[in-house]
């Protein structure tokens, strides 16, 4: 599937530049996410993957370029319009970002209590349904501190889909998970996307887990899209960057060493590094 040919895209990012001060993070990124698909954004740590999600969610504004979500230009929205757009989005943060003073059930209920006028009885029923969908109905009364990393990620997933968003963004959903939890979270992302008719963006550097569930992948390096394709074409790619990333080679287009002074000269220098 090539998203550029899709007649209806949930997200269109066009020639986006963004930086923190003098440090340029994104240098002309363009990509499209078709409705109903799971699109992966991959790249090394610090390449700008999470920044891209923050731009889509309107938490940052690009220096230039367009960020269109569901037909709306996100950087041009005022606060109330942005919050209205966010009420149709969900975001799963890297470590869950659960509210530590609330129970699991209260965490899942939070967006419903804040953004809807539903009765307590209905919210309680919906919370049980969402927790059942991620297999954690039995953990409803636990506090986040009592959960394992995988369970916390699943609770956060239940909270993310609590208000039935159109778009869900996953920021490193596999980070720090054991193989079983990783597989469970991956399956949940795919199944929830298809069952609920969502559009999903998956930011990860876990190539193996991500390629199992995504429809299309963009690779980002040094603030640019350097490769893209469906999982089969990515696995078969001869592109040096993609090969290094997919196979985990320590050296290649992404060098092992950070740019530094001459090693010999620095070792012989009396000054500290």
- 217 class by beta-carbon count within 10 Å (0-12 exposed, 13-18 middle, 19+ buried): buried
Q: Is 247 helix (H, G, I), strand (E, B) or coil?
A: helix
| Interaction of residue 78 with other proteins, rule CB under 8 A | no
Binding status of residue 170 toward other proteins by CB under 8 A:
no
- Give the DSSP H/E element, type plus range, for residue 30: strand 23-34
Options 1, 63, 84, 129; binder of other proteins; rule CB under 8 A: 84
115 contributes a contact to other proteins by CB under 8 A: yes
Residues 11, 167 contacting (CB under 8 angstroms): yes
DSSP-assigned beta bridge partners for residue 29: 16
Instruction: Please give the size of the binding site for other proteins, defined by CB under 8 A.
Output: 21
Does residue 123 belong to the site contacting other proteins (CB under 8 A)?
A: no
**Beta strand 216-221 pairing with 38-42:** parallel
Determine if 175 is a binding residue for other proteins (CB under 8 A): no
Smallest separation (angstroms) from other proteins to the CB of 172: 12
- The span from the CA of 182 to the CA of 174, in Å, is 6
Tell me the CA distances in angstroms from 174 to 40, 80, 147, 184, 207, one per residue in order: 13, 33, 16, 10, 10
Rule CB under 8 A: say whether 146 interacts with other proteins. Answer: no
- Assess 106 for contact with other proteins (CB under 8 A): no
**Binder among 13, 41, 42, 89 for other proteins (CB under 8 A):** 89
Site for other proteins contains 67 (CB under 8 A): no
Give the one residue of 19, 36, 75, 95 binding other proteins; rule: CB under 8 A: 95
User: Judged by CB under 8 A, does residue 18 bind other proteins?
Assistant: no
Q: Report the residue number, 97 or 118, with the smaller CB distance to other proteins.
A: 97
Q: How far is the CB of 211 from other proteins (least distance, A)?
A: 26
Collapsing DSSP to helix, strand or coil, 108 comes out as helix
* Maximum separation of any 2 CA atoms in the chain, in Å: 72
48 counts as binding other proteins under rule CB under 8 A? no
* DSSP H helical ranges for 49-148: 49-56, 79-86, 104-115, 120-133
Compute the least distance from the CB of residue 269 to other proteins, in Å: 25
Contact set with other proteins (CB under 8 A): 57, 59, 83-84, 86-87, 89-91, 93-95, 97-100, 110-111, 114-115, 163
């Amino acid at each position: 599937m090539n998203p550029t040919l899709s007649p209806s895209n949930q997200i269109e990012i066009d020639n986006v530049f963004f930086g923190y001060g003098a440090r340029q993070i994104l240098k002309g990124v363009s990509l499209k996410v078709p409705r109903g698909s799971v699109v992966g954004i991959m790249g090394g740590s610090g390449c700008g993957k999470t920044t891209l999600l923050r731009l889509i969610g309107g938490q940052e504004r690009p220096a230039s370029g367009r960020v269109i979500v569901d037909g709306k230009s996100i950087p041009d929205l005022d606060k109330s319009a942005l919050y209205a757009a966010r009420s149709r989005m969900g975001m799963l943060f890297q470590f869950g970002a659960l509210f530590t003073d609330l129970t699991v059930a209260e965490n899942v209920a939070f967006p419903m209590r804040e953004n809807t006028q539903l009765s307590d009885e209905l919210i309680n029923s919906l919370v049980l349904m969402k927790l059942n969908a991620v297999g954690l109905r039995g953990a409803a009364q636990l506090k986040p501190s009592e959960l394992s990393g995988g369970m916390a990620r699943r609770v956060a997933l239940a909270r993310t889909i609590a208000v039935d968003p159109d778009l869900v963004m996953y920021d490193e959903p596999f980070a720090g998970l054991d193989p079983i939890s990783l597989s469970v979270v991956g399956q949940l992302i795919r199944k929830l996307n298809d069952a609920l008719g969502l559009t999903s963006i998956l930011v990860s550097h876990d190539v193996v887990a991500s390629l199992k569930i995504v429809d299309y992948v963009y690779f980002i390096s040094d603030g640019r899209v350097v490769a893209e394709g469906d999982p089969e074409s990515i696995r078969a790619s001869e592109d040096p960057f993609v090969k290094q990333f997919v196979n985990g080679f320590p050296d290649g287009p992404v060098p092992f060493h950070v740019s530094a002074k001459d090693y010999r000269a620095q070792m012989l220098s009396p000054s500290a590094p």
